[in-house]
Amino acid sequence: MKVGFIGLGNMGGPMAANLAAAGHTVTGFDLAAPCPEGVTAATSGAEAASGADVVITMLPNGAILRAVAAEIHPAMAAGAVHLDCSTVDVDSARAVADAAQTAGLSAVDAPVSGGVGGAAGGTLTFMAGGSEEAFAKVSPLFDVMGQKAVHCGDAGAGQAAKICNNMILGITMIGTCEAFALADKLGLDRQKMFDVVSTSSGYSWSMNAYCPAPGVGPNSPADNGYQPGFAADLMLKDLRLSQQAAEAVDADTPMGQAATALYERFVEAEDGAGKDFSAMLPRFEKRGRG
């Protein structure tokens, strides 16, 4: 396919490179990041989008997505697909889908899970919203960039799935870190704690696959000084999106609210900025009750 790719940062760059390596013709644009090998540089988003079968965007937030969509939609050929892989608010995803339809285009919102490693390795998971037809058209690209793509429903459903998933992730990571800190103070060996919980009812991805305790369980950012695999800053962004969505639909999410407040304090008032989201464990280690 002929692909336009806008947003070539830590995630978008490797994704675009994988598409080019698979034989797709990729034209990319970014305000700051360089074009990866195999990708032709454009001087604007509109130039990258011109004549493309699919235009992929990987952008920081909904406001930027809306602005980029307004620029690229008039340049896109009728019937082309705008595939947005950013993690943004549901309202922005739906607004961009409506704008695409008005312009004679299709749109798919498909935020990703898997981080920078998944982007580089082509093992991302995509959560997609949009029509069946648009999803089918971009599926060959999902096959290159990831290992799984789930069609979650209509426009905005991909973003809804992503923020619900990451709300669970934020909550369970906090619970896992709290439990390790409590186990420490009770004199329970961390490895014994892991051996019990990882095979019992406390099982979770946060414990079993991404354990926040160094030297326990599979290798994780905890074993690398909490250098981010998934930054606490990004977890805070996703938790805020979950609470924005919850407020919009009058959903009661007290644990989501509490997790948002804790990550907000950790990132903005403590030393969590730039660290992995599992660095909540040393935070709890240093604190007493109250």
Q: What residues are labeled active site?
A: 162
51 φ/ψ angles, rounded to the nearest 5 degrees: 75, 5
Helix (H) or strand (E) holding 6: strand 2-6
CA 234 to the chain's CA centroid: 8
